[in-house]
Amino acid sequence: MYGWRARIGIIQPGFNPHHGHEFYMMVPDGVSMTLCPIHSVEDAPTEFLAPESLDLFLQRLPLAARELAAKHVSVIVQAGVPHTTAFGRGIEERIRAQIAEITDLPLVIDVRACIEAIHALQMPRVCIVSPFTDHANGVVADYVKPEGIDVVASYRVRGEAFGGLNMIPMGYLYDQVKEAYRKHPNVDGMWMPGAGMPSVAVIDALERDLGVPVLSSKQVMVWAALRAARVGDPIEGYGRLFSVAASR
């Protein structure tokens, strides 16, 4: 059976065809992924991060957790940094309480895993490069500030120019992160929230070229999920973060 070491269930706001490919780039043999998109093809189209889309995401989280638990996953991961930060401080406790009523499986929350990764790599001053609006980036910055994380600057990667955020070319993202760092070389690291944006293939090159840690939501969620599942294989080529996992 696939997933004989660990089966990681991921709740994602919408369907992203790149999640699977980037996931399997990073995980060791014996680890599988089960996706559970929140939005259905029957839902009316909504703008990304529109209030009705956010509310629907929160309402359906328990249903998604129930579905994944029934598929015998080892860990549940909630993807979507802005889908939590939009509700303000206290939302993580609310989500954990809702899912705890359904299952006692370990739960990884995207934004919390990012906060823990930033602390693990000692990155108190970060620059955000994401596909979110300027307003959403500001909300994320306000959310993490009480955690001792200073978002020095944020840059928006405009996915609509390429037909959607999941179609952003790697070379373009690499250039955007490099340019953001050139303008803010005093930061301790670069942070790419936005799991729907292809990102993991550029992390290693960016770390070598910039000399600072680079995080992306997809990388961080895999790091946190593997730790929760007690899978400790060394993982190379996808950032310094995985060396933290290997040393624990």
pLDDT value of residue 62: 93
CA–CA gap between residue 127 and residue 150 (Å, rounded): 9
Instruction: State yes or no: pLDDT of 247 exceeds 50.
Output: no
User: CATH no. for residue 33?
Assistant: 3.40.50.12500
Tell whether 246 is covered by a domain.
no
> For residue 212, what pLDDT is reported?
98
Identify whether the C-beta of residue 56 lies closer than 8 Å to the C-beta of residue 30: no
Q: What is the mean pLDDT of the chain?
A: 91
Q: Are residues 166 and 78 in the same domain?
A: no
Q: Report pLDDT for 15.
A: 63
Task: Tell me what pLDDT residue 182 has.
Answer: 96
- Model confidence, pTM: 0.93
How many structural domains is the chain composed of?
2
Asked if residue 34 belongs to a domain, the reply is yes
59-99 pLDDT tens trace: 999 999 999 999 999 999 999 999 999 999 999 999 999 99
- Taking 60 as the threshold, does the pLDDT of residue 176 lie above it? yes
Residues 105 and 120 in one domain: no
Instruction: Give the structural domain span for 73.
Output: 6-110+219-230
